[in-house]
């Protein structure tokens, strides 16, 4: 069917785009709280609100009954309540950060040993006070540390079997379980080893202008004895991992919440100012005409895993040393690639990737890698036909590709040209919300919808071809979204500095967009591991950059050789990668 004849792919590409949109909608709807306007309502896919939730599954119904009697409805403090959850296990709803020992008892009854500490605002436990561990769940997956935070309100912990939990997740999706009956996180007593326990600490945190309007909690898995929690002031942002230049607001323990000294109103004001700068920016470039190319140059830093001692994936002849992996033996490295893309109006591309730095977490890992012959990441295997060395000896991968948007690659330019340039209208268009439906206020950046909206707005800002008016509207729309943090003087992994928008999206990924406040130009976009994400990857500190894209150049050129070419570059002339 598709013997290289690119026009043939059209139906398939269109169908792919259409189906992908369906999947994206479902993915978003699966965890969406609000009911959409009548036209798009789909009760089967509605899911509970993201909540400050801890879930745990309990083994025995008898245990659940005991809990209700002794800790649930009769609990006079109402610090928490324990109720059986449908299908087995219990659900613990925490109303206030009090009665830590009562919660410990309730968890113990449910089969989970724990240490619970409620702390004053701005305090954390001195680390390390236990050995972090991971609970491996039956049927795959694992549970490590989780960081939760947000506005005040009940926090739900459930305890039950993993299988039951997974089933209930599906039942909820199908509308068979109500929002209140589902916990977001499950603790399975059967999955805990005897030496493992839960360490939970929390403290009031600023939210919505109220210094104690919300809360933040850390849940960790301990292996062996747990020392008492010694309250210490919460550390400032840590230093950067992997020997990178220290980046204020980055590194172990970093959570991109932004500068706490700035109120929401102040952040909104800064972003509105940036919006004005953006709207007055230079005029938009037209998409490439026939014979021209859109040229973009980015530097991508990506966290990759390396399995030493021959555990690499791939054939023996063609080992792949850097593999995305959650193997507990994995060593992690931040691999930097310079990526240049020339795209013609048909969507065909020449892609040239030049391998940059490989930086390991520790010197020992670095030495281990060097002892193995400094194997390049799999995508830069010199035996691959499209991989060469440039004049400086750097590995270069040069290949032809196609943008998945196919021949309609630049049609989104016209779509963007039609996008509303009034900030709220732009946001509502992105969210596909109509007036007269559910409330139209922006969702917080930490929620699924809010996070998705922020990402779409950032996509607009990082598009190479977009009008100043639309960029201004995107900044202005960001200004109205709660939960956006702001940081000044932040550096990307390449050392370029600017101001940054920062937030944590539901799911635990921290995001940061660094821009030049004088021009509103986007310098880099980064995601960093955070909370549970970090804990799933042993040895990767919380706050580690998972992926960062630095935007170096973008413009229209007349040739796929136009741009900075390394000296003696043999690639351009031998490349199979020429778009016509």
Partner 1 sequence: METEGALPGPRSELSRRLSAVAARERGVGAEQLRWIGTDPDLFEAFYREQVEGLQHFVARRVGDRDRAADLTAEVFLAAIDSAHRYRPGRGTPKTWLYGIARVLVANDRRRSGRERAGEAGGEGFRGSSLLDPEDAARIDARIDAAAQSRRLYEAMDRLPEAERAVLELVALDELTVAEAAAAVGVRSGTARVRLYRARRRLRADLEAAAGQPIPKKEDRS
Surface-to-core class of residue 209, CB atoms within 10 Å of its CB (0-12 exposed, 13-18 middle, 19+ buried): exposed
Which of 30, 429, 557, 563 lies at the binding interface for partner 1 (CB under 8 A)? 30
Which of 192, 295, 546, 551 lies at the binding interface for partner 1 (CB under 8 A)? 546
Nearest to 175 by CA among 87, 50, 45, 51: 45
Nearest to 143 by CA among 326, 265, 284: 326
What six digits make up the tokens of 359?
Answer: 């930086």
Q: How many residues does the chain have?
A: 580
| Residue 151 binding partner 1, by CB under 8 A | yes
Give the Cα separation of 495 and 132 in Å (integer): 32
Tell me if residue 534 falls in helix, strand or coil.
helix
Which of 32, 505, 512, 525 lies at the binding interface for partner 1 (CB under 8 A)? 505
By beta-carbon proximity to partner 1, the closer residue of 241 and 472 is: 241
Q: How far is the CB of 258 from partner 1 (least distance, A)?
A: 12
Q: Cβ neighbours of residue 53 under 8 Å, at least 6 residues apart?
A: 148, 155, 156, 157, 183, 184, 185
Q: How far is the CB of 74 from partner 1 (least distance, A)?
A: 25
Q: How far is the CB of 102 from partner 1 (least distance, A)?
A: 21
Tell me if residue 319 falls in helix, strand or coil.
coil
Task: Render the burial of 470-507: b for 16+ CB within 10 Å, e for the rest.
Answer: bbbbbbbbbbebbbbbbbbebbbbbebbbbbbbbbbbe
By beta-carbon proximity to partner 1, the closer residue of 274 and 336 is: 336
Q: How far is the CB of 431 from partner 1 (least distance, A)?
A: 17
Which of 128, 224, 225, 324 lies at the binding interface for partner 1 (CB under 8 A)? 324
| Residue 483 binding partner 1, by CB under 8 A | yes
By beta-carbon proximity to partner 1, the closer residue of 14 and 518 is: 14
Q: How far is the CB of 486 from partner 1 (least distance, A)?
A: 16
Contact characters 254-293, partner 1, x per CB under 8 A: -x--------------------------------------
- Across 411-532, the runs of DSSP E, i.e. the strands, are 485-491, 497-504, 510-515, 522-528
| Residue 308 binding partner 1, by CB under 8 A | no
CA 406, 407, 408: angle at the middle one, nearest 5? 90
Q: How far is the CB of 374 from partner 1 (least distance, A)?
A: 22
Options 143-151, 459-467, 470-478, 569-577: segment touching partner 1 (CB under 8 A): 143-151
Nearest to 391 by CA among 567, 133, 195: 567
| Residue 38 binding partner 1, by CB under 8 A | no
| Residue 78 binding partner 1, by CB under 8 A | no
| Residue 130 binding partner 1, by CB under 8 A | no
What six digits make up the tokens of 526?
Answer: 């980064």
By beta-carbon proximity to partner 1, the closer residue of 168 and 292 is: 168
**DSSP state at residue 119:** -
Options 57-65, 96-104, 228-236, 523-531: segment touching partner 1 (CB under 8 A): 523-531
Which of 192, 342, 509, 551 lies at the binding interface for partner 1 (CB under 8 A)? 509
Options 23-31, 68-76, 79-87, 564-572: segment touching partner 1 (CB under 8 A): 23-31
By beta-carbon proximity to partner 1, the closer residue of 448 and 577 is: 448
**Cβ contact 549:299 at 8 Å:** yes
Which of 53, 64, 244, 514 lies at the binding interface for partner 1 (CB under 8 A)? 53
Q: How many CB atoms lie within 10 A of CB 460?
A: 19
By beta-carbon proximity to partner 1, the closer residue of 156 and 298 is: 156
Which of 267, 395, 504, 545 lies at the binding interface for partner 1 (CB under 8 A)? 504
Number of residues that bind partner 1 (CB under 8 A): 72
**Cβ contact 351:527 at 8 Å:** no
- Across 80-119, the runs of DSSP E, i.e. the strands, are 80-84, 90-94, 114-118
Binders of partner 1 among residues 332 to 391 (CB under 8 A) are none
Which of 117, 237, 296, 325 lies at the binding interface for partner 1 (CB under 8 A)? 325
By beta-carbon proximity to partner 1, the closer residue of 234 and 556 is: 234
Which of 298, 446, 467, 575 lies at the binding interface for partner 1 (CB under 8 A)? 446
What six digits make up the tokens of 158?
Answer: 């459930």
**DSSP state at residue 230:** -
Tell me if residue 434 falls in helix, strand or coil.
coil
Which of 32, 46, 129, 173 lies at the binding interface for partner 1 (CB under 8 A)? 173
Report the run of H or E that residue 414 belongs to, with start and end.
helix 411-418
| Residue 7 binding partner 1, by CB under 8 A | yes
Which of 119, 124, 155, 267 lies at the binding interface for partner 1 (CB under 8 A)? 155
Options 2-10, 110-118, 425-433, 461-469: segment touching partner 1 (CB under 8 A): 2-10
Binders of partner 1 among residues 398 to 437 (CB under 8 A) are 404
Expressed in percent and rounded to 5, the helix, strand and coil fractions of the chain are 25, 30, 45
Q: Where are the alpha helices (DSSP H) in 10-127?
A: 10-29, 61-71, 100-109
Which of 80, 109, 118, 165 lies at the binding interface for partner 1 (CB under 8 A)? 165
**Cβ contact 498:514 at 8 Å:** yes
Give the Cα separation of 532 and 146 in Å (integer): 4
Binders of partner 1 among residues 185 to 244 (CB under 8 A) are 185-186, 216
């Amino acid at each position: 069917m598709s013997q290289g004849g690119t026009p043939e792919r059209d139906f398939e590409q269109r169908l792919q785009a259409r189906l992908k949109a369906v999947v994206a909608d479902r993915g978003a709807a699966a965890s969406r709280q609000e009911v959409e306007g009548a036209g798009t309502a789909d009760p089967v896919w509605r899911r509970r609100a993201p909540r400050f939730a801890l879930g745990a599954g309990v083994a025995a119904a008898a245990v659940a009954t005991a809990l209700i009697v002794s800790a649930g409805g009769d609990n006079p403090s109402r610090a928490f309540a324990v109720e059986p959850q449908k299908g087995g296990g219990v659900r613990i709803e925490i109303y206030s950060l009090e009665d830590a020992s009562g919660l410990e008892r309730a968890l113990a009854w449910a089969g989970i040993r724990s240490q619970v500490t409620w702390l004053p605002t701005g305090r954390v436990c001195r680390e390390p006070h236990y050995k972090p561990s991971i609970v491996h769940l039956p049927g795959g997956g694992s549970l490590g540390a989780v960081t939760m935070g947000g506005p005040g309100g009940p926090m739900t912990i459930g305890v039950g079997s993993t299988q039951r939990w997974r089933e209930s997740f599906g039942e909820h999706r199908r509308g068979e379980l109500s929002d209140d009956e589902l916990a977001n996180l499950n603790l399975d007593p059967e999955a805990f080893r005897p030496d493992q326990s839960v360490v939970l600490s929390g403290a009031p945190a600023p939210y919505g202008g109220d210094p104690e309007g919300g809360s933040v909690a850390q849940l960790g898995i301990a292996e062996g004895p747990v020392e008492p929690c010694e309250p210490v002031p919460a550390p400032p942002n840590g230093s950067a991992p992997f020997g990178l230049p220290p980046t204020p607001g980055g590194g172990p323990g970093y959570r991109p919440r932004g500068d706490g000294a700035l109120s929401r109103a102040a952040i909104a004001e800064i972003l509105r100012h940036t919006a004005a700068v953006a709207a007055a920016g230079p005029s938009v470039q037209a998409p490439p005409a026939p014979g021209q190319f859109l040229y973009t140059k980015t530097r991508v830093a990506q966290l990759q895993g390396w399995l030493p001692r021959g555990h690499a994936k791939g054939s023996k002849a063609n080992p792949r040393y850097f593999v995305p992996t959650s193997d507990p033996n994995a060593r992690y490295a931040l691999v930097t690639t310079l990526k240049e893309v020339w795209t013609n109006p048909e969507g065909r591309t020449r892609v040239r990737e030049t391998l940059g730095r490989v930086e390991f977490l520790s010197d020992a890992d670095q030495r281990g890698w060097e002892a193995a012959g400094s194997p390049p990441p799999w995508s830069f295997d010199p035996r691959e036909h499209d991989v060469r060395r440039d004049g400086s000896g750097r590995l270069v991968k040069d290949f032809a590709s196609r943008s998945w948007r196919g021949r309609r690659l630049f049609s989104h330019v016209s779509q963007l040209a039609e996008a509303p340039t009034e900030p709220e209208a732009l946001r509502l268009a992105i969210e596909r919300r109509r007036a007269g439906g559910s409330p139209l206020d922006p969702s917080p950046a930490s929620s699924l919808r809010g996070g998705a909206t922020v990402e779409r707005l950032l996509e607009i800002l990082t598009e190479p071809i977009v009008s100043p008016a639309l960029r201004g509207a995107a900044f202005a729309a960001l200004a109205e979204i709660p939960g956006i943090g702001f940081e000044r003087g932040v550096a990307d992994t390449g050392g370029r500095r600017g101001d940054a928008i920062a937030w944590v999206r539901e799911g635990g990924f921290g995001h940061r967009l660094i821009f030049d406040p004088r021009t509103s130009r986007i310098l880099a976009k980064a995601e960093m591991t955070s909370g549970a994400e970090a804990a799933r990857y042993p040895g990767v500190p919380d706050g580690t950059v998972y992926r960062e894209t630095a935007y170096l150049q973008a413009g229209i050129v007349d040739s796929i050789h136009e741009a900075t070419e390394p000296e003696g570059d043999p690639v351009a002339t031998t490349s199979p990668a020429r778009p016509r």
